[in-house]
Structure 1
Amino acid sequence: MANNTTFDLSHLLYRYPSRTALLEEFAPAAPLADKIVPPFWYFIGFLGNPISAAVWLGQRMRRNNSSAIYLGALSIADLIFLFLHLMYVLHMSWGHDIYNAEISCEIFHFAFYVPQYLSTFLVLAFTAERYVAVCHPFLKEKLCTVQRAVVVVFSLLAFSLVLSSAQAYIWTFSAPENSCNVRPEAAVGDHWSFWSVWNWVTDIFAFGLVPLTVLIFNVLVLKEIYKISRKDALTRQHSQINGTGGGRSSGGNSSASTVMLLSVSSYFIFTQLSATIINCLNSSFPHGEMNMTDSQIRADKTWSSMFTYLEVRKVVEVICMSHYACYFFIYCLTGKHFRKEVLRLMTMNGKIQFLNTLVTKSRRKERYSMVSTNGGPTTETFATNFSTTM
């Protein structure tokens, strides 16, 4: 019995049965980052995402504005993810058994991936729509409609549910360890196991290829905007030379809307690709010999490199998850009508008299053209008391 105990304690996983305990001992910056940084995103996201969803899905913004459907759904998906991530941090970093039980282990990991996939696909959807609106304007009336946006959102939700369903098989509750672990059957084959292959394929697709596709669409949109701006500048110059006037283009609201969506998707690309790239480096930092003592592990270059990598990866991950919380600031900075709707909500539809007076004064002076009719009546394209652009 003594020999068995000695052998068990010589193995790293017997000395540190949980991943959190192992990291706290050899890579303390990783669990510390999980405890310090995400609460900031929770505070911002739990306030900003519900406000964003209420504004985008409100009748004033979603009416004849398909982009509002995508942005409203994105706010809801991000809010759900932040809530689930809070549960994950409480479980992994703070030691609370949130989902260490039969059924809840499988359900949690299934649910945890759904909003991550959906958030990524929604950014792709409204970026593709903006590409159509800018680069193929004659198709805008047909493809960029509110009804189509609703169908696309629910289709992407169904696709996300299908992709996430494999996690319910991969993860299971293990009673002997009293923890939620990868199912043994799913781990057979090491690097070629179902668990490893499935996660690699889906992560590269959802968090690698999709952001790259968004990047390509953004480049094409910016290229088209540059061509249009250059053409407009030449036209105005020609008009001035010939004395024909040449008034300003009436596409101000559409341009503002494009700036907002490009800003959101660019922020998404930067944060998501950064996290994906550093995760893809995981195989470059293997662990060392499992039967080493703690002092030997600290002196070993292989183990030291792996733990340093894990610390850097965790810091990058928690910083890059800011895109689930901070879109609200982009909406406020780039969206004049979004800001006004937020103020309207803050005044409780005019019940707070002081703020309502400020908002009303700023509204009386303006009439805006809409970004697109999105299937709406032609008369609404040119003038409306309240624009549903962003």
Structure 2
Amino acid sequence: MRIRYEQKQDWTSELLADKSWRMEMVNFTQSFTIAPNQSSSVNLLADSVRFHETFAPTGITIDRTISPILYVIGLSCNPLSAYIWLSRKTRRNNSSAIYLGVLSISHFIFLILHIFVELNVAWGIKTYNKQVSCEVFYAFYYIPQYLAPLLILGFTVERYIAVCHPFKKEKFCTVRRAFIVVCALLAFSVCLGLMQAYIWTFDPIYRDCNHREEVSRGGEASFVNVWTWTTELLMFGVVPLAALLFNILVIHEIKSLTNRGPAYQQPGSGSPMASTVTLLSVSFYLICTWLPATLVYSLQTLFFPNPYVSKEEVKDDPTWQRYFVYYPVRKIVEEITLSNSACYFFIYAITGKHFRDRVVAIFDVRRCSRCKHARQKKRTGDSKYYVAVSKMEHVTNGNTIETNV
């Protein structure tokens, strides 16, 4: 999820660094200037976590409670999803399995990196906020965020071709072509992510990660502003909307084929139709979890508090009160967006029979128990057979002897 940071020179220029639109509150707190005649001016305190614990405890509680649950779900279910989708049996004739398997790996990596961000934002524990590690961390942190929507758009387009242009399916919807497309999308995401190594650096004054001074010059027309708005609108605006458009076309075609009767449906459409339901569900879940985040981001300027108030005036200032209402709402939206990287496993299991059967096969305790019982029975039978053979008498040269085999 994207954590937003603000330029210290202009605190109203909130920039994105997490697709859930989470704001890096350390920089947020340090961006305020103390009024000349207000020695106790807010300056949001030196510790933003403590500040929000005092004035907006609900938001902090939401962050600290829900995120760990999503981590447990995502870090346990995503590897299992990747194992099932990328297994030879599943991906042999299913090009979409390549996209879904890599998507699960991407979400797994992102959740691991997001833990470090969460420690910084929600708990005030700094981990990656050091020389060099700032650049390296944000380069890797952005790559899976860029890759996920591209993968979803990739298999959405593929499903559109399979349903709406079935005669081109054999050419464009192959496992080999899916592998090539995934590699191309990964390379594109890496190129975009590496730009963050240039944008971010360690700020020795604030002892935290911040934008480089040279990319922050120019205010609204600065390089970091232009780059951020361009990439964010492209990856988290245009791409989901494009996926939505292709989904609508697919649904329209399926409805049209259904109304025409069985004669017009594609041969062997049972399995492809089930796969289409799974892919449509994944795509729509992406859209439904990201659109609220986009809305929250677009409205954030309405809730910027007045920095020139004293600590005592915060509780009575109307702008600050609106911010304290906005903050927990934003946290709820962030957790909904974070669930996008943790909960696809349940969509796969509910909508995909093959996926569900594989999960049952992996965790079928009864079958394992039957197998264990069969092995024990076999060993018992072998033992009895061994005893019986050992007591067999054989005649050699007219003499009777007991032979052990």
User: What's the CA shift string for 1:83-104, capped at 9, x where partnerless?
Assistant: 1111111122112221121011
Instruction: Show structure 1 runs of 5+ residues with no match.
Output: 237-246, 358-390
**CA distance 1:256–1:39, change in 2 (3 Å):** same
User: Is residue 335 of structure 1 aligned with residue 364 of structure 2?
Assistant: no
1:369 alignment counterpart: none
1:354 alignment counterpart: 370
1:24 alignment counterpart: 53
**CA distance 1:5–1:338, change in 2 (3 Å):** closer
2:198 alignment counterpart: 169
Shift of 1:134: 0.2
1:140 alignment counterpart: 169
User: What's the CA shift string for 1:298-350, capped at 9, x where partnerless?
Assistant: 222222223322321121111221111111011111111111222333359x9
User: Is residue 323 of structure 1 aligned with residue 340 of structure 2?
Assistant: yes
Q: Which residue identity is paired with 1:261?
A: L
Shift of 1:355: 7.7
Partner residue of 2:288 out of 267, 270, 287: 270
**CA distance 1:21–1:8, change in 2 (3 Å):** farther
SS of the residue aligned with 2:202?
A: strand
Range 311-320 or range 192-201, more displaced: 192-201
**CA distance 1:24–1:193, change in 2 (3 Å):** farther
Preserved contact between residue 260 and residue 330 of structure 1 (Cα < 8 Å): yes
Cα separation, 2, equivalents of 1:220 and 1:181 = 43
1:75 alignment counterpart: 104
Q: State the superposition RMSD in angstroms.
A: 2.6
User: Is residue 219 of structure 1 aligned with residue 235 of structure 2?
Assistant: no
2:132 alignment counterpart: 103
1:376 alignment counterpart: none
Cα separation, 1, equivalents of 2:91 and 2:172 = 16
1:241 alignment counterpart: none
**CA distance 1:249–1:155, change in 2 (3 Å):** closer
Shift of 1:182: 2.5
Partner residue of 1:292 out of 281, 286, 309: 309
Range 195-204 or range 218-227, more displaced: 195-204
Partner residue of 2:77 out of 48, 51, 61: 48
Preserved contact between residue 247 and residue 280 of structure 2 (Cα < 8 Å): yes
Q: Which residue identity is paired with 1:320?
A: T
What is the aligned residue count?
A: 340
User: What's the CA shift string for 1:212-245, capped at 9, x where partnerless?
Assistant: 1111011000000000000016x69xxxxxxxxx
SS of the residue aligned with 2:326?
A: helix
Shift of 1:20: 3.0
Q: Percent identity?
A: 45
Preserved contact between residue 344 and residue 356 of structure 1 (Cα < 8 Å): no
1:381 alignment counterpart: none
**CA distance 1:259–1:119, change in 2 (3 Å):** same
**CA distance 1:67–1:254, change in 2 (3 Å):** same
Instruction: Show structure 2 runs of 5+ residues with no match.
Output: 1-33, 374-405
2:189 alignment counterpart: 160
Cα separation, 1, equivalents of 2:193 and 2:267 = 46
**CA distance 1:143–1:5, change in 2 (3 Å):** closer
Cα separation, 1, equivalents of 2:266 and 2:161 = 23
1:12 alignment counterpart: 42
Q: After the TM superposition, which segments of 4 or more aligned residues of structure 1 sit over 4 Å from their partners?
A: 4-9
Aligned positions of 1:110-125 closer than 5 A: 110-125=139-154
Preserved contact between residue 347 and residue 355 of structure 1 (Cα < 8 Å): no
Shift of 1:286: 2.6
Preserved contact between residue 132 and residue 140 of structure 1 (Cα < 8 Å): yes
Preserved contact between residue 41 and residue 325 of structure 1 (Cα < 8 Å): yes
Cα separation, 1, equivalents of 2:266 and 2:283 = 28
Preserved contact between residue 37 and residue 319 of structure 1 (Cα < 8 Å): no
Q: Give the TM-score taking structure 2 as reference length.
A: 0.78
Structure (1 or 2) with the greater helix fraction: 1
Preserved contact between residue 347 and residue 356 of structure 1 (Cα < 8 Å): no
Cα separation, 2, equivalents of 1:259 and 1:148 = 22
Shift of 1:177: 2.1
**CA distance 1:29–1:198, change in 2 (3 Å):** farther
Preserved contact between residue 35 and residue 41 of structure 2 (Cα < 8 Å): no
